[in-house]
Amino acid sequence: MSNTVEIHQNVLDRLNPEYWAFIQSRGAHLPPLHKSQWSPAFRQAVPGLDYGTTAPVEVGYTRTIQLGDFSVRVMTPLGEKPGKGWPVLLNLHGGGWVLGSAAMDDYMLSKLCIGANCVTVSVDYRLAPEHPFPAGLNDSWDALVWVSKEGERELGIDPKRIAIMGCSVGGNFTAAVVQRASLASPRIPLVFQSLLVPSLNLSLFSAERDKWTPSMLQNEHIWDLPLADVLWYIDLYTPNADDRIKPDVSPALQEDKSAFEGMPTTWVSVAEVDTLRSEGEIYAEKLQAHGVQVKLYTLKGGYMNHRKHQFNAIQPFTRLCRDSSYRGGSRPGESIFNCVGVFPLIWRIP
């Protein structure tokens, strides 16, 4: 572990100076993962690694529910349940398919729970490499099915007001789960999906360089998620490379038009200085081509760290990096796409 961050000049030239100063001030930094052999010890907290974590805000109550091979972490708002039940947000955490937990997004989810007056359900899906594809995705899908069928009785939610969100590989699962919901018979209706710096086409990372996206070429050597690290994660999640062209693994490769029918309003967040940026942009265009209402938000000059929900520092730029996930912008015209603003707006429909 190093106390300094090495960064290529072509990346540094595009970074917001305040953001870069924040990164440099955080102290210890992890070495590149692709130079390491996998160990479960990677899942332990790293001493000295400081991303300005803030404690969650108070909610009504938090509980864990075991659902077979996985569990969900549920937050319920303060006060009495509305007459038709609370709206609900299903959250799929990031962590490269091998790291992370349902509790890692507690700060953001507690803010959403109170700000949108909704129940949040964060999925503790099984992790690779012990449980490679399709285990984590199937757990995420089973969680949605459970919420839609049992959520009214178990959680006091309104099954007609289900939204879903995921960051990084959580965005990968979210996109695949939403496609499954459209293809299901009967279809599972959703009111909103939010894809935050999503990974959507895993086949690109084992392809020849001339097939790489612009953001892969521009940000190959980004300090936090270099291209070689992305492939390291992908190899652990999909040891069978043939799986990477399946829509369940690479939702951007979905060609079944039925997968986009009835798809909800979609928010896609990407960052200018991020290996995965182009994947989000390409998928947003694909959704629009299929008639899905989409808002694409790009954080200029910044990098949405794939642990970014722990980025709770007070600096304005890093606060924007964090808050864009649930505010989405300050202009009134954007309010329908704000992750906090859109939920109450849609969920109040009778």
pLDDT tens digit sequence for 58-87? 999 999 999 999 999 999 999 999 999 999
Tens of pLDDT, residues 154-208: 999 999 999 999 999 999 999 999 999 999 999 999 999 999 999 999 999 877 8
- Cβ(250)–Cβ(203) below 8 Å: yes
Q: Could you give the angle at which helices 316-323 and 17-25 cross, rounded to 10 degrees?
A: 90
The highest-level CATH class for domain 9-347 is: alpha beta
Which pLDDT band, with edges at 50, 70 and 90, does 341 fall under?
A: very low
Radius of gyration of the chain (CA): 19
Q: What is the pTM of this model?
A: 0.85
Whether residue 309 contacts residue 324, with contact meaning beta carbons closer than 8 Å, is answered with: no
Q: How far apart are CA 180 and CA 135, in angstroms?
A: 15
Q: What is the rounded average pLDDT for all residues in the chain?
A: 83
Q: Following DSSP, what letter does each residue of 36-98 receive, concatenated? A: S---GGGGS--TTB-----PPPP-SEEEEEEETTEEEEEEE-SSPPPTT-EEEEEEE--STTT
Tell the residue number behind the tokens 């492939």, with chain if given.
Answer: 231
Q: Specify the DSSP class assigned to residue 273.
A: S
Residues 6+ apart with CB under 8 A from 184: none
Neighbours of 84 (CB within 10 A): 15
How far out from the chain centre does Cα 176 lie? 12
Q: Which residues contact 218 (CB under 8 A, 6 or more apart)?
A: 10, 14, 273
Which residues are registered as beta bridge partners of 157?
86
Contact status, residue 72 vs residue 65, Cβ threshold 8 Å: yes
Contact status, residue 171 vs residue 143, Cβ threshold 8 Å: no
For 121, list phi and psi in degrees, rounded to 5: -130, 110
pLDDT in tens, 201-239: 999 987 789 999 999 998 888 877 889 999 999 999 999
Domain boundaries, the chain: 9-347
Q: Scan for tokens 């704000």, then name that residue.
A: 338
Tokens of 278: 């182009």
Rounded to an integer, what distance in angstroms lies between the CA atom of residue 345 and that of residue 94? 27
159 vs 150: CA distance, rounded Å = 9
Say what the pLDDT of residue 271 is: 87
- Residue pair 282/251 in contact (Cβ under 8 Å)? The answer is no
